[in-house]
Chains A and B, each alone.
Chain A
Amino acid sequence: MKNMFVIARRELGAYFNSPIAYVVVAVFLLLSALLFFSALFLQGQADLRELFDGFWTTLLVAIVGPAITMRLLAEERSNDTLELLLTMPLTDWDVVLGKYLAALGVFAFAMVMMAIFGVTVAMIGPLDKGPAFAGFLGLFLVAATYMAIGLMTSSFTKNQIVAFIGAVLLCLILWLIGKVVQIFPPTVQPFLDWLGMDRHVSGMARGVIDTRDLLYFGTLITSCLLVTQATLDSRRWR
């Protein structure tokens, strides 16, 4: 447990000592600000729902998430530092969870910055706090899921670009699948509808925190982290 935080602290240091975190967070904020203010000024909507539910925001996160996580394990592999790390007295889980925590930290930092949008809305009109909170939580969970996928692909390869592209592809599948459910045979539609991100996000953007949605995110995140740990462990037996 303690070691998990040691790893997380080192990773956060690595993010914020280098330009990566700032660049990624800046790009994310810039583009989401564009989405938010265009909704605000062009459509005259002073609420955050467009931001959280929108087609573009979840797409943006599907790129930003993997961009944050791509270096986590791939870089350790390509620099051979993974060997030194994994021979220290800590478990594979300390490493996996510590690194995941750091990625969540970077995204949380971006979301704190996003709170400016909420403040803007509150200045213009009354902010509906419930849906705003659920929306923020929903977006964070989407990002957490995408970053778990990103961490997983980062454990597969020593090439960060490969890790990034692999993760973006998987994220895009989740992002797209809910929008195109109708083209699949009816028997698999309920499953695909469940698997897609859309359903779960839109509920939260409306302000409804449903345990089934939480379960969905939890299941995906846990599965990816399990695969990540298994990948690290597989080095021993190859």
Chain B
Amino acid sequence: MIHVDGLTKNYGNVKAVAGISFDVHAGEILGFLGPNGAGKTTTMKILTSYLSPTAGRAEVAGYDVLDHSLEARARIGYLPEGTPLYKDMTVLEYLNFASDVRGLPTGAGRTRRLRQVVEQCGLGDRLGFLIGELSKGLKQRVGLAQAILHEPEVLILDEPTSGLDPNQIVEIRQVIKDIGKSKTVIFSTHIMQEVQATCSRMLIISKGQIAADGTPDELSRKAQGAQELRVELVGRVEDAREGLTAVKGVASVRSVDPAPGEEAGKDNHHFVVIAQEGQDPRADIFRMATEKGLTLLEMRREKASLEDVFRTLTSGTPGRKSK
């Protein structure tokens, strides 16, 4: 649905986007992550034909964004960062204006479509309000409404949840998820939970280049490298440590304090076991415990959080906001 090939954009001497390539397929919700100034917004502006690339090309729904800009734009719904809307129009006036520009025929069909969108975005009782008088969350919904009303094949949202309160964030995410059932969605954010909660795929970019590409699960596994296990044993501490170290596939063992909320018993010992790369020593640990007469209370794999992934992949990036 979206095809990006060697896309490059320079602002003077600064390379905002440095030759990135990726494809987004129909029905994917792609989370676009990266520190400020990584090139997220610039990439989106190129996809929507607001900026032209310095080199490389991009296609949306089969149309080149440079050569067939109007056709591509007709198939995109876009919500720029900060939700810029005409403050002097009422919600209904604005949605009608957007429908006019998008060439939605007037009449019963449009009324039905507008009613649908207004309900989906929860704007029912605000139609007569001036946009300038709405709260940030409501403005965001108007922005979303104008982006989806022509049923675009591709939806591009630049930080759609920034500056909203937690309830509003959940609501907007739900709307994005609903839309993502049938459309292709790209949205940028720097909130990790958001990606976990909504995306089927994430793309991390840093310094204008793609740092990682995959499902949220894949990426956290990749960043993790070796498996990390948390083990709780009851018995003599020396026995436990020696036993664990002797298990095949274990790289290191270290004692740790109980995690908050875990019981600290006299004979309970907590360990963090790092496995050798590509090894899964869990079965052997269980067997070792039985043989040595130790009681295995708990054993669990620690998952690298997406925050860790993000930090590993993008650390040291200079913060420069692309405008």
Q: Which residue on B lies nearest to A5, using beta carbons?
A: B100
Asked, given contacts A79-B84, A81-B84, A88-B73, whether A237 binds B52 with beta carbons under 8 Å apart, the answer is: yes
Contact of A83 among B45, B52, B76 (CB under 8 A): B45
Q: Is the CB of B50 within 8 A of A89?
A: no
Question: Which of A7, A13, A80, A83 has the largest count of B CB atoms less than 10 A from its CB?
Answer: A83
Q: Is the CB of B102 within 8 A of A88?
A: yes
Q: Which residue on A lies nearest to B147, using beta carbons?
A: A84
Interface residues in B, total, Cβ within 8 A: 29
Q: Is the CB of A80 within 8 A of B101?
A: no
Q: Is the CB of B50 within 8 A of A83?
A: yes
Q: How far does the Cβ of A102 sit from chain B's closest Cβ, in whole Å?
A: 13
Contact of A87 among B48, B88, B89 (CB under 8 A): B48
| B88 contacts across to A, CB distance below 8 A | 14, 17-18
| A14 contacts across to B, CB distance below 8 A | 86, 88-89
Q: Does B198 sit within 8 A of A, measured CB to CB?
A: no
* Chain A, range 75-124, C-beta contacts under 8 Å to B: 79-81, 83-84, 86-91
| B32 contacts across to A, CB distance below 8 A | none
Q: Is the CB of B51 within 8 A of A90?
A: no
Q: How far does the Cβ of B151 sit from chain A's closest Cβ, in whole Å?
A: 14
Q: Is the CB of B74 within 8 A of A89?
A: yes
Q: Is the CB of A80 within 8 A of B50?
A: no
Q: Does A57 sit within 8 A of B, measured CB to CB?
A: no
A237 to B12, CA, bound (A): 10
Q: Is the CB of A79 within 8 A of B87?
A: yes
Q: How far does the Cβ of A111 sit from chain B's closest Cβ, in whole Å?
A: 25
Q: Does B220 sit within 8 A of A, measured CB to CB?
A: no
Interface bits B42-78 vs A (CB < 8 Å: 1, else 0): 0001001111100000000000000000110110101
A80 to B98, CA, bound (A): 16
Q: Which residue on B lies nearest to A85, using beta carbons?
A: B101
Question: Which of B45, B84, B93 has the largest count of A CB atoms less than 10 A from its CB?
Answer: B84
Q: Is the CB of B84 within 8 A of A84?
A: yes
Category for how many chain A residues contact B: 20 to 34
* Chain B, range 81-130, C-beta contacts under 8 Å to A: 82, 84-89, 93, 97-98, 100-103
| B84 contacts across to A, CB distance below 8 A | 79-81, 83-84
| B76 contacts across to A, CB distance below 8 A | 87
Q: Which residue on A lies nearest to B11, using beta carbons?
A: A238
A14 to B71, CA, bound (A): 28
| A18 contacts across to B, CB distance below 8 A | 88
Q: Does B216 sit within 8 A of A, measured CB to CB?
A: no
Q: Is the CB of B102 within 8 A of A236?
A: no
Q: Does A189 sit within 8 A of B, measured CB to CB?
A: no
Q: Does B80 sit within 8 A of A, measured CB to CB?
A: yes
| B102 contacts across to A, CB distance below 8 A | 88-89
Q: Is the CB of A236 within 8 A of B93?
A: no
- Known A-B contacts: A13-B89, A90-B101. Give 11 more (CB < 8 A): A2-B103, A10-B97, A14-B89, A83-B80, A83-B84, A86-B49, A87-B50, A87-B80, A89-B103, A236-B50, A236-B52
Name A's B-contacting residues (CB within 8 A).
Answer: 2-3, 6-7, 9-10, 13-14, 17-18, 79-81, 83-84, 86-91, 235-238
Name B's A-contacting residues (CB within 8 A).
Answer: 11, 45, 48-52, 70-71, 73-74, 76, 78, 80, 82, 84-89, 93, 97-98, 100-103, 146
